[in-house]
């Protein structure tokens, strides 16, 4: 699956699934714009990609901040007027009973996991409509499909991202813009590393394949939706979860 000469934006690209996605896109021949709120790790990730002779640039981006999104848009479009792929990977949550959540926590979770996807998409969508092509991939979560204990608001935000994916896919199909989602199950990322061991062990026991996912396994699914192999697929949700949440 090749992405030769495609310009691909990856949000949350400095670590975990985002970093795996950025590396995978670069290996497939794309010019990757790796964005993240953490400039230091983002710049380091881009330096490693360039060492391999692949194309990448770093642009600072806070997907919850309108001015940051606007600044990112200007920098990206100055590099090249055509954005071909957007992979929404930036996300955050923590396991905590709903009754212990604060309103600020609700706001942070929804702003990052749902509103960030909506706002970044809108920033670059006009160009895709004008060129009548594009691939948008939302990395959501199986929490958004079936719910997750201790992640109620996170589940709601990720479920909203899935509904956004499907609605946008219907609107954008006439412009030859594909919009799909990948739903990871529990994956071995820096975010999951902060979860107590008892929860990670429970995830593994509940997964038929009896292990956590690997960031590369999620990135491979994102690559499929970004490539020409998925040209007649839109509005779909692909779970990559080792069988944890088998749904109809």
- Retrieve residue 58's tokens: 């770093």
61 is catalytic: no
Find the catalytic residue in 25, 58, 124, 154: 154
Q: Could you tell me which of 240, 244, 247 has the C-alpha nearest to residue 137?
A: 240
- Bridge partners of residue 177, in order along the sequence: 134
- Are 184 and 218 contacting, i.e. CB atoms less than 8 angstroms apart? yes
Alpha-carbon distance of 155 to 110, in angstroms, equals: 10
Alpha-carbon distance of 141 to 159, in angstroms, equals: 8
Alpha-carbon distance of 144 to 151, in angstroms, equals: 10
* Residues taking part in catalysis: 154
């Amino acid at each position: 699956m090749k992405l030769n000469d495609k310009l691909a934006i990856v949000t949350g690209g400095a670590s975990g699934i985002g970093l795996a996605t950025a590396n995978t896109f670069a290996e497939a021949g794309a010019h990757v714009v790796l964005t993240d709120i953490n400039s230091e790790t983002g710049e380091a990730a881009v330096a490693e990609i360039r060492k391999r002779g692949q194309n990448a640039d770093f642009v600072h981006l806070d997907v919850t901040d309108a001015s940051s999104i606007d600044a990112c848009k200007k920098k990206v479009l100055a590099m090249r007027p055509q954005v071909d792929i957007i992979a929404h990977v930036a996300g955050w949550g923590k396991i905590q009973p709903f009754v212990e959540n604060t309103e600020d926590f609700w706001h942070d979770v929804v702003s990052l996991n749902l509103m960030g996807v909506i706002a970044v998409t809108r920033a670059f969508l006009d160009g895709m409509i004008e060129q009548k092509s594009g691939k948008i991939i939302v990395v959501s979560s199986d929490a958004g499909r079936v719910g997750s204990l201790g992640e109620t608001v996170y589940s709601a935000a990720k479920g909203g991202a899935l509904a956004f994916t499907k609605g946008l896919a219907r609107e954008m199909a006439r412009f030859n813009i594909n919009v799909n989602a990948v739903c990871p199950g529990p994956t071995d990322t820096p975010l999951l590393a902060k979860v107590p061991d008892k929860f990670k062990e429970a995830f593994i026991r509940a997964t038929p394949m009896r292990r956590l996912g690997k960031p590369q396994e999620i990135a491979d699914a994102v690559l499929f939706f970004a490539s020409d192999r998925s040209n007649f697929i839109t509005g779909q949700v692909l779970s990559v979860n080792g069988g944890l949440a088998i749904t109809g």
